[in-house]
Amino acid sequence: MNWEIVMGLEVHLQLATQSKIFSGSSVQFGAAPNEQADAVDLGMPGMLPVLNEEAVRYAVKFGLGIGARIGDRSVFDRKNYFYPDLPKGYQVSQFFAPIVCEGMFEVPLEDGTLFPIRITRAHLEEDAGKSVHDLFQQETGIDLNRAGTPLLEIVTEPDFRSAEQAVAYLKALHSLVTYLGISDGNMSEGSMRCDINISLREKGSETLGTRTEIKNVNSFRFVERAIYSEYERQADILESGGTITQETRLYDAEQNVTRSMRSKEVANDYRYFPEPDLLPIVIDSDYIEAVRATLPELPGAKRTRFTSAYGLSEYDAALIVPNHAMADYFESVVQLCEAPKPAANWILGDLSGALNRNDVGVEESPITPERLAGLIVRIEDGTLSSKLAKQVFDAMWEGEGDTDEVIAARGLKQVSDSSELEAMVDEVIANSPDQVAQYLAADEAKRKKLSGFFVGQIMKASKGQANPQMLNALLLEKLQNQS
Amino acid sequence: MTDSTLLHASVSHLRQLLKDRAVSSEELTEACLKQINATNEALNAIITVCPEQALESARAADSQLAKGESKSLTGIPLLHKDIFCTRGVRTTCGSRMLEQFVPAYDATVVSKMKAEGVVMLGKCNMDEFAMGSSNETSFFGTVKNPWDLSCVPGGSSGGSAAALATGMAPLVTGTDTGGSIRQPASLCGVTGLKPTYGRVSRLGIIAFASSLDQAGPMARTAEDCALALTAMAGMDDGDSTSANLPVPDFHGALNPNLQGLRIGLPREYFNDDLNADVRARVMAALSELEKAGASLIDIDLPHSHYAIATYYVIAPAEASANLARYDGVRFGYRCEQPSDLEDLYLRSRSEGFGEEVQRRILVGTYALSAGFYDAYFNKAQQVRRVITEDFRRAFEQVDVIAGPSAPGVAFPFGAKQQDPIAMYMEDIYTLAVNLAGLPGLSTPAGLINGMPVGLQLIGKPFDEQTILNAAHRLQIDTDWHTARPNLEAITS
């Protein structure tokens, strides 16, 4: 049978505020257990939440970033359930009236086309702590450092029809939130966690099949693999005449399978009701406009500008723009060297290669935008051949100074002096009478091939520094004069 | 000066004595501690006494007084209801669940009053988690009414009311979620004020029902309540529901001139259900106010009869969530040898909470459950708005609304314990005030067969001043508030 996959995503995004959503505790990653949990985070008797205004601003930024409607009066609710790492026995979330209402997010696909995803809502909530099962024998440790970390839960409509679309959405979302500066989007540290709601239906059918929810997938690659694996599982069941059980599943990356997380098929009753300890968040148009004024240029607009103003291809723009730091790097280089295409080529080629090999971000690149621009200037003015330029690049990566310093220290300057070149050409011709004779006897087509010998000899003599264009012209002229 | 005079003096009077150095805070504190020693065994009004800490604060107060650097309550002994978190001093909330709980922080009320110079003597007994109207639900045993040891003191601030009436302290704090200051004040013959919701910070007060809880003072006079309210009140960045309004000097602004004051008498309170003796006492008090220049006007609060049902959905619903944190994991009571997580939850909560608390958690959980939310919680929220609107309309006609504080005088132990509904009816005149977030006050209105009864005065939002003025005038014109229980049988 021909199955169509239907998916909606829920992303839990950790907001990059200084402190927690309802307490003054720090949210720094990696502190010793419970060092970043105060009386509020511990749910001590009599403690009350106080809303972090920064979290509200970040949520509004996100809403504006996807062109969503901002709820003018959003309300916090208590979501009640017992778990040892949930200190109060309820999570403060937004159920009835979220801060970000319906919106539309345009996701760029690899071919440069845009794919619209409907955002259902995004709401603010607090994260729970962590249960640590593997540190103690017969006991579970509770670490409440994460409890109260501000989260924005972003929910989409079931608009995804392929794993590629889902991954493209997550990458675009990651790009957007880093542009907005509201999250580091770091999936491996849990700053961005993805739940996938997934069901299958016969191609052409309008009704949705029974869905499962895969919880807490924490990398782009795992999202893709989890979807494929769950697709296979559901298709197998349906094709053998079975039915899908609505349940929560976990993706096991090692085995590449999804596993049922809760054995019992009971819908949790969270008994949501408005949180009486917090006032509704009232947002007026002045506030919205003030936040809007702080929005940076967002990825979509930047892609358009990079293609029109710098003449980049859609493909190059789509590679550079999603990484905000890389886009900034690109623009700094272009401002200094005024050569956008070579800049893009260097950044996407050698620079990205070196950054990936060394696992550093572009913002920590040992080659600054100034230095890369200096290199490109020396290529453009003919000082460096592309071969020499690669040497200079490697030397700069190793910290040997800027382009001109490397050229001077290594004596890498391209020989473009015509009398110097002429002398070298004359010497090689004089030392290679046989090859000259062969050359002269050959026809046009063969001559081109034979000239390679002379170029090689001269390059060897010049240690690769001969200007290739000048050399070619000079050699041709001299050889022809031999006849 | 005899101890007895000291022990029954008002805060205002004691302030003068302290200022004049006629008595030292240390002497006063010692007298209170002596009275606690002598009477608490019979009354069980106090859970924790802190004599050394109190005497130390008293001596510090005396040196401030000597330097003329005193604040509004410097050197005045005080007892807190054991629902206020006190740094380093056990705070039980009347529950086994918190029998050993020692907070690392002070409630805002506690720190504000400390800053005004009070001397904290200890912590008062109360109904468990403030759930009760008779003080019979406390894990630490019932509090006896000093007017009749076979009767309840009211609740949930029953320990506070009984301690005050007995002279253990001239000033006590309470909290009022559905009448828990006003009803015990009425049953013990003292003055108790529940301020407007948001007037006093809830930070550090162990939550029962967050949208209803409000702390307030209980004292021998309305004037003392005004003094204490000024010390307790104010915007707190740590409580988002505290009102961002300036705090008037309620004491300095006390004005006994009631000329032109319009007092509304809700027909729904003064109907045939009202006990005839209570009606007689309340009407006698109101005619005193009339003599002082106030006019009495019949008004309607047409949805009053929904107050109990509404309250007993909203308060348990909020409580069911507020009390979820007592799970045996981080603090509080934990059962012995739990076999697994569910067993830990089940037994810690079954053993740590008493019957009434468990009943309310179950009721609240039910009211919020899927399929019942709209019929119960949502409906109750709607009715709450209707009840609030009743008051708003009534206050277009009148400045103060008056009624009884409680349906009767103190009742014998056990009389209502087996019948939760009968117990809930104790708060029939007080609950609506919490639902509407209004200020309410109970002031003594004389005795029925030797037992005190209170007049309740309800004010407009944030207009505590007017009800304090009216009670103050009543206390100038009558001596009901000076009636004292006979302590001879109690004192050991």
Residue that has been written with the tokens 């004051």 in this structure: B261
The CA-based dihedral angle spanning residues B53, B57, B58, B64, taken in that order and rounded to the nearest 10 degrees:
170
Measured distance CA(A423)–CA(A231) in Å, rounded: 71
pLDDT of residue B59: 98
| Nearest C-alpha neighbor of A248 from the set A176, A308, A195, A208 | A195
Residue that has been written with the tokens 């890389």 in this structure: A326
- Rounded to the nearest angstrom, the gap between the alpha carbon of residue B373 and the centroid of all alpha carbons in its chain is 31
| Nearest C-alpha neighbor of B383 from the set B309, B300, B477, B274 | B309
Provide the pLDDT confidence category of residue A18 given band limits of 50, 70 and 90.
Answer: very high
DSSP letters, A25-41, are -B--TTPPTTTT--TTT
Average pLDDT, chain A: 92
Check whether domain A418-482 has CATH 3.30.420.310, yes or no: no
Q: Quick check: A483 pLDDT over 70?
A: no
Which of A155-169, A172-186, A467-481 has the least mean pLDDT?
A: A467-481
CATH of the domain at B73: 3.90.1300.10
Tokens of A97: 């009236």
How many angstroms away from the CA of B188 is the closest CA of chain A? 28
| Nearest C-alpha neighbor of B36 from the set B92, B93, B79 | B79
Mutate to test the interface with A, among B90, B177, B330, B341 (most CBs of A within 10 A): B330
Residue B156, preceding peptide bond in cis (omega within 30° of 0)? yes
Residue that has been written with the tokens 């749910």 in this structure: A43
Is the Cβ of B374 closer than 8 Å to some Cβ of chain A?
no
pLDDT digits (tens, 9 = 90+) for A96-146: 999 999 999 999 887 778 899 999 999 999 999 999 988 888 888 999 999
Q: Which residue blocks in A115-207 are alpha helix, DSSP H?
A: 163-180
Residue B430 Cα distances to A191, B196, B223, B302, B438, angstroms? 49, 13, 22, 15, 10
Domain assignment present for B335: no
Neighboring chain A residues of B369 at a CB cutoff of 8 Å: 269, 271
How many angstroms away from the CA of A17 is the closest CA of chain B? 19
Q: Is A416 exposed, middle or buried (0-12, 13-18, 19+ CB in 10 A)?
A: middle
- Are A144 and A39 in contact by the 8 Å Cβ rule? The answer is no
Is the Cβ of B366 closer than 8 Å to some Cβ of chain A?
no
Measured distance CA(A280)–CA(A73) in Å, rounded: 6
8 Å CB contact of B329 and A78: no
Show which residues on chain A lie within 8 Å of chain B, measured between beta carbons: 39, 42-51, 78, 80, 82, 84, 87-90, 142, 267, 269, 271-273, 276-279
Which chain A residue is nearest to residue B319, measuring alpha carbons?
A: A276
Domain assignment present for B310: no
Domain assignment present for B189: yes
Angle formed at CA B110 by CA B107 and CA B113, multiple of 5 degrees: 145
pLDDT of residue B200: 98
- Are B489 and B147 in contact by the 8 Å Cβ rule? The answer is no
Neighboring chain B residues of A278 at a CB cutoff of 8 Å: 240-241
> H or E segment at A122?
strand A114-126
Measured distance CA(B218)–CA(B214) in Å, rounded: 13
Neighboring chain A residues of B210 at a CB cutoff of 8 Å: 276-277
Active site members of B:
81, 156, 180
The CA-based dihedral angle spanning residues B446, B449, B451, B453, taken in that order and rounded to the nearest 10 degrees:
-40
How many angstroms away from the CA of A15 is the closest CA of chain B? 22
Neighboring chain B residues of A87 at a CB cutoff of 8 Å: 325, 329-330
Total residues belonging to chain A: 483
8 Å CB contact of A78 and B101: no
Measured distance CA(A382)–CA(A385) in Å, rounded: 7
pLDDT of residue A452: 83
Residue B324 Cα distances to A40, A82, A339, B83, angstroms? 15, 8, 64, 17
Q: Quick check: A301 pLDDT over 50?
A: yes
Q: Quick check: A265 pLDDT over 60?
A: no
User: How many structural domains does chain B have?
Assistant: 1
8 Å CB contact of B105 and A87: no
Domain assignment present for B440: yes
pLDDT of residue A267: 62
Tokens of B158: 């029953």
Close Cβ partners of B233 (under 8 Å, ≥ 6 residues apart):
B195, B199, B200, B247
How many angstroms away from the CA of A83 is the closest CA of chain B? 9
Range A132-149 burial, b when 16+ CB lie within 10 A, else e: eeeeeeeeeebbbbbbbb
Close Cβ partners of A115 (under 8 Å, ≥ 6 residues apart):
A106, A107, A108, A109, A165, A168, A169
Measured distance CA(A9)–CA(A226) in Å, rounded: 13
Mutate to test the interface with A, among B368, B374, B382 (most CBs of A within 10 A): B368
pLDDT digits (tens, 9 = 90+) for B101-116: 999 999 999 999 999 9
Tokens of A279: 């006032």
CB pairs under 8 A between A and B: 101
Domain boundaries, chain A: 3-289, 299-410, 418-482
> pTM for the whole thing?
0.90
Residue that has been written with the tokens 């019932």 in this structure: B142
DSSP letters, B113-136, are HHHTT-EEEEEE--SGGG--SSS-
Domain membership of residue B203 as a residue range: 3-264+397-482
The minimal CB distance from A271 to the residues B91, B237, B369 is found for B369
8 Å CB contact of A271 and B368: yes
Beta strands in A146-263 (DSSP E): 150-156, 192-202, 212-217, 248-252, 257-260
pLDDT of residue A17: 97
Which chain B residue is nearest to residue A80, measuring alpha carbons?
A: B321
Angle formed at CA B31 by CA B26 and CA B37, multiple of 5 degrees: 125
Domain assignment present for B72: yes
The minimal CB distance from B321 to the residues A46, A90, A267 is found for A90
Provide the pLDDT confidence category of residue A264 given band limits of 50, 70 and 90.
Answer: very low
8 Å CB contact of A273 and B207: no
pLDDT of residue A262: 66
What sign for the dihedral angle of Cα A301, A302, A303, A304? positive
8 Å CB contact of B240 and A277: yes
How many angstroms away from the CA of A80 is the closest CA of chain B? 7
Residues of chain B with pLDDT under 70: 1, 492
Measured distance CA(A421)–CA(A424) in Å, rounded: 5
Residue A77, classed as helix, strand or coil, is: strand
